[in-house]
Structure 1
Amino acid sequence: MTSHPEFRAASELVSAAHTINVVGHLRPDADAIGSISATVEALRQLGKTAQGFIGQVESMPANLLSIPGAADIIFSSDLPDSDLIIVVDCGSQERTGDFEDTIVSRRSSTIVVDHHATNPGFGRVNLIDTEAESTTTILFAWLEHLGVRTTQSIAHGLYAGLLTDTGCFRWGRPEMHIMAKELMEFGLDIRQISAELIDKTSLEDLRLVGQIMSKIETHSAGPYRLAVLVADHATINGHSKAAVEGLIETVRAVDGADFGAVFKEYEPGVFTVSLRSSKLSVGSLAVHLGGGGHVPAAGYTARGTELEALDTLITAAVELGETLNCSSVVSN
């Protein structure tokens, strides 16, 4: 893995700190949880008092608890005082959830580690690499720079982020395979990790997915074709978020569609929208709608009725038109 020009500055901040809070994004995925867990263990190895946090009260999907250290992450609306904050896998300060105001006020003592193309860099030191497949890819190199000894549990967290953010190694640079090989040498049971994070499901989840998938639609959006799934509040309330979040990978592959969208109504009238495409810059589309992400994988929040939310997306795609075209998209 290549070194980042800001590694030294970030390492100096870590060296000077005694207490460090590690913060991941709202509605965390495996890259966020793996990044937090690996970083917290690494910092404790360096003699720091470190703790992981997510800025929401609701806990993570159960399958993420298979990542070592995940169960110790605190989900809260209040971020305690610390000498240093390390924000991982957050494409913007808004993604830190209930901690946003606190992090803005403590910018001078914040390090941002991220790989999202839309990240403006909101820390004192920003370890941002938009070519990295996952945030754990950047951390792998930085922890080595810090002199951290990679343990099996640290390797597990780093591998979890790499595995999931590359769609089980379906996209990314040749370097991702080198990183996977090096992490596997720490005795990882990659079959079990994949089973926990990707494959494991329940009969109830399968029925839920089937119910939502049966309502898939396609729409014209200017020069493009859009595949849409809507997971309305009445259908998904009280069910597994992991199953709902996995729907976007199915929509991505719909034949004849230029891009896919899943509207997830976790709160009545509020849709978390995930976008995917191998042809278009959905990152630009998400930014236009107040969100962010990567070129081929992004998201934003929409409010209103199901029809209003869909109309807003289609209108934005029409407005941006041919500017969404990508000659080459490599997913992260």
Structure 2
Amino acid sequence: MQIREIIRVIEEKNAETILLLCHHNADPDAICAAFAFARLLKQVKPHVRVEIAAAQGISQLSKHIMKHIPITLVEEPNFEKADILVLLDTNTIQQLDDWAEKVKSSKAPLIVIDHHASHPETEKIATLCIADEAASSTCEIVYRFFKELNVELGKDEAKALFLGIAFDTRHFVIASSSTFKAVAELVDHGVNAEEALSILSLPMETAERVARLKASRRMKIIKANEWIIALSHVSAYQASAARALINLGAHVAVVAGEKGDTLRISLRAVKEFYEKTGIHLGRDVAKPLGEYFHGMGGGHAVAAGVNGIGDVETALKRCWRILREKLKFTHN
């Protein structure tokens, strides 16, 4: 059992302080998984101090969720005092921004719990990697840990896990049968589904709306075989903008943004694109993009991200080049 491997690492280190880390602008899956996992660790190892931190803060929706679930975050985690570091919903240390080097230089064992494809560079520095692409979310993996240990879920933990799963599956649109089973069991633990889902319905901020509109205005449309590929750029909300371009009709959307020397790229695709072409955005596009821009990239088959150093024009050209070559291969 995977949770037993985690406990083994904790016991071998005789850990007193465990630091749980979430990616920058942490989404509901990240913070809810961290919260539930922290509660689980406290039940299994009551003496252990568990802290949760998110690089560059959390998303607006995550802040809203914190009004309904007692999640506590530390703003400046002490990496030197941490006996174990755990990355949740974070498959590259580059997603930790300024904390990346602290993690890399830390002598504490590193554990990764994620539902994205594991990144080779992360695997090199991690003591233990638990990556399950079949899981809908990191929250679904954490729920599995509770079941493996036969630990009773509290109402707050159940609600947090439900919210994380609901968010990452787009309100269960892309959920599998195992995900629905997990959600049904969480409801049996006292989660009011209707009430919980309403928490995720946070009105979109004006800045995000503007970013989506700018992305659509700047969009370059490329027709490749039967696929419509949209390339665009905005300074913020790249992931939201990419989702918006998919909703407008693109099969694949790539939205880049730069802040100083830092480059961020969000990629999204419809499920049909992956099923027919076999092109996995995280493995086949984001990973090589991350390497090219001296950063890291990864993610799911239909949702991925890249962090690196460069400019948006070069990024979009490089991304299209990779996609074009992959599409030629699949077409042939």
Between the two proteins, what is the percent identity of the paired residues? 21
User: What pairs up with 1:160-309 in 2 under 5 angstroms?
Assistant: 160-202=163-205, 205-207=208-210, 209-220=212-223, 224-231=227-234, 233=235, 236=236, 241=237, 245-255=239-249, 257-265=250-258, 267-268=259-260, 270-277=262-269, 278=271, 279-280=273-274, 281-283=280-282, 284-290=284-290, 291-301=297-307, 303-309=309-315
Q: 1:323 to 1:252 in 2, by over 3 A?
A: farther
Shift of 1:115: 1.4
Shift of 1:175: 0.7
**Match for residue 329 of structure 1?**
none
Structure 2: runs of 5 or more not aligned: 275-279, 291-296
- Any idea what the Cα deviations from partners look like across 1:91-125, whole Å, max 9, x if unmatched? 12333333333333446622211111243434222
Shift of 1:263: 2.1
User: What pairs up with 1:77-156 in 2 under 5 angstroms?
Assistant: 79-106=79-106, 109-120=109-120, 121=123, 122-156=125-159
Say whether the 8 Å CA contact 1:11–1:146 is kept in structure 2.
no
**Match for residue 24 of structure 1?**
22
Q: 1:177 to 1:221 in 2, by over 3 A?
A: same
Q: Count how many residue pairs are aligned between Structure 1 and Structure 2.
A: 307
Q: 1:263 to 1:26 in 2, by over 3 A?
A: same
Q: 1:116 to 1:225 in 2, by over 3 A?
A: same
Shift of 1:324: 6.4
Shift of 1:78: 5.2
Give RMSD over aligned pairs. Answer: 2.8
CA distance in 2, matches of 1:196, 1:225: 34
Q: 1:14 to 1:160 in 2, by over 3 A?
A: farther
| Paired AA for residue 320 in structure 2 | I
CA distance in 1, matches of 2:308, 2:226: 22
| Structure with greater contact order relative to length (CA < 8 Å, sep ≥ 6) | 1
**What TM-score results when the alignment is normalised by the length of structure 1?**
0.80
- Which structure features the higher share of helix residues? 2
Say whether the 8 Å CA contact 1:79–1:99 is kept in structure 2.
no
Structure 1: runs of 5 or more not aligned: 326-332
Say whether the 8 Å CA contact 2:216–2:245 is kept in structure 1.
no
**What TM-score results when the alignment is normalised by the length of structure 2?**
0.80
